[in-house]
Chains A and B, each alone.
Chain A
């Protein structure tokens, strides 16, 4: 079966196709749903995730956008206040910096600031790039910035099943939802039901049960952590791998329960660690356990640098199944010699598939 599929049988679908299917189903069901963004109607169709939508629903509901991220975020917010349900699409998350003013100052606050008289149900899709020289400004994962702001929800599904269910839930949610996707996950498949379903926000999933350590993997780092878990199983280390799925709200109860059992926690984020999701999860667990038992904690994420373009440096920028497995080994067996799995053995199919340019 596809490695990261939460269900065990049925139809196999890619991440992008699952997203596209979710949007099409909701557009069919609810006329207030519309899509807007740069290149959502072109032949490449946002890595296929908007394929066929403009042909099916027309240019009034699948709207090509000028390069005006700030205004279009405000336009989506205003349309949402008036009762529509926009989905604003960004081929790279880096461009969300141009949307920050509207998202933080208006979308996130409208419901609160106006005491419930307005709401802003909108989905902001953002794809994180990686490898083949995406470099400084096509690789950033900025979900931590949005987790910081009350009023925003942030989800980061790691597989096609959750992508579809989270997208349907995000569209139906009455709040702004930052929908974090990862370029590499577009090369993954999962079993995806044909019918409509939602994946609930704020409910983590234990993807692999284990006893020695709790590993929380965010976005595509869940996939890389699962590979590490397999490599560790070969040497008798049992890692419990958790997919938080949504980052705001965050299911701290499930994560804490697991750490209470294992006594060790590693958070592997597809982002910088400083003041990010990994920091939040570690702090939350520490607060909740409150010294009831000693725990060992650690984090992995981007190197604390700008992402370099050259592969010679970029390979050191990201956690990999090798570095994750090695870190876990060190945490579980601190007295043993440093161990690393064979790099060739650890290589992942979805990385081999991506050839660029974008």
Chain B
């Protein structure tokens, strides 16, 4: 079904995100990065699977746990790392940090730290794309916690009513910070709730990047045909702590056994095993070079000039 080239692309993206975030986590204790980091490690496959189904001209919106979406969409890696460092050559000149990444040249819309705020913004952006009439769509990533905010339901209703070209993607990792879904949801049938708005909804529970890619391709086709929004819920698992570089399996709110079950089907390893291993080593080496280059770029980058504090409060 997928060509070797496509499998390589998926692997490269998974690997680049994983290794970049591992490098961020490795650097974090040195305090060169002073920004709250919410790592995607372990759940990169959702971003990679979905974004593989859209084009360069399509727009991606994500959250404070957005490194994976940024990188999967082709966001500039050097400027990503410089942004982590708070440098002037970062993707937002140091004003955004980890939680508000943006790269409009790659159609990565600005991310937000206030849960669910980007959902209606994505709908509004997509409404403008619909008017533009070039068939572009917005992919809107958010977590299971965001689906509890009232604005999620409001946005679904509006998007369906006006046939807005947006693909809603809920990355369900089962925790809102540390609160388990059983403590928060009266009913787990999120997809069925969404369907009542007249929006086709898929639940991809197997944690497989190809399942996600396939579902996303079908739903993107549906959206591009002018039918309005679609929704997918993707089961995933956050391997590290909610915020910060470490694991937190000794904190008492979850068991390492759950992690191990997900690690056993780690998509980076699964897809990597599908490649010619010599080819894989070449890809891996290239990724290490890219990351080292990005870190060097960040390290050597200048600090923002003091007057930048006052720049961009208002648009001219």
Contacts and interface: CB of A to CB of B under 8 A. Distances in A.
A154 interface: no
B222 interface: no
A157 to B, nearest CB: 20
Interface in A67-121: 68, 70-84, 86, 101-102, 105-106, 110-119, 121
B155 A113 contact: no
B121 A106 contact: yes
Contact of B315 (A63, A77, A175): A175
Contacts of B316: 174
A70 B155 CA distance: 9
Interface string A169-184: 0000011000000000
Q: Is the interface of B mostly helix, strand, loop or mixed?
A: helix
A113 B121 CA distance: 15
Interface string B142-168: 000000001100110110011000000
Contacts of B132: 82
Contacts, number: 138
Contacts of A82: 124-125, 127-129, 132
Interface centre among B112, B131, B311 (most CB of A within 10 A): B131
B154 A114 contact: no
A70 B154 contact: yes
Contacts of A114: 92, 95-96, 100, 102, 110
A294 interface: no
Contact of A83 (B112, B128, B155, B162): B128
Contacts of B114: 101, 105-106
A102 B313 CA distance: 17
A209 interface: no
* Most chain A beta-carbon contacts within 10 A, residue among B114, B128, B150, B155: B128
Contact of A68 (B100, B124, B157, B314): B157
A249 B129 CA distance: 32
B110 A113 contact: yes
B312 interface: yes
B313 A77 contact: no
Contact of B314 (A102, A105, A111): A111
B95 A78 contact: no
A76 B158 CA distance: 12
Given A72-B120, A74-B117, A113-B92, A81 B125 contact: yes
User: How many of chain B's residues touch chain A, expressed as a range?
Assistant: 35 or more
B112 A106 contact: yes
A169 B160 CA distance: 33
A193 to B, nearest CB: 27
Given A71-B154, A113-B92, A114-B110, A78 B313 contact: no
Contacts of B129: 82
A105 B311 CA distance: 18
B95 A112 contact: yes
B169 interface: no
A79 B128 contact: yes
19 contacts: A70-B120, A70-B154, A71-B154, A72-B154, A74-B120, A81-B109, A82-B124, A82-B132, A105-B117, A111-B315, A112-B313, A114-B96, A114-B100, A114-B102, A115-B92, A115-B311, A115-B312, A118-B109, A151-B314
Interface of A: 60, 63, 66, 68, 70-84, 86, 101-102, 105-106, 110-119, 121, 150-151, 153, 174-175
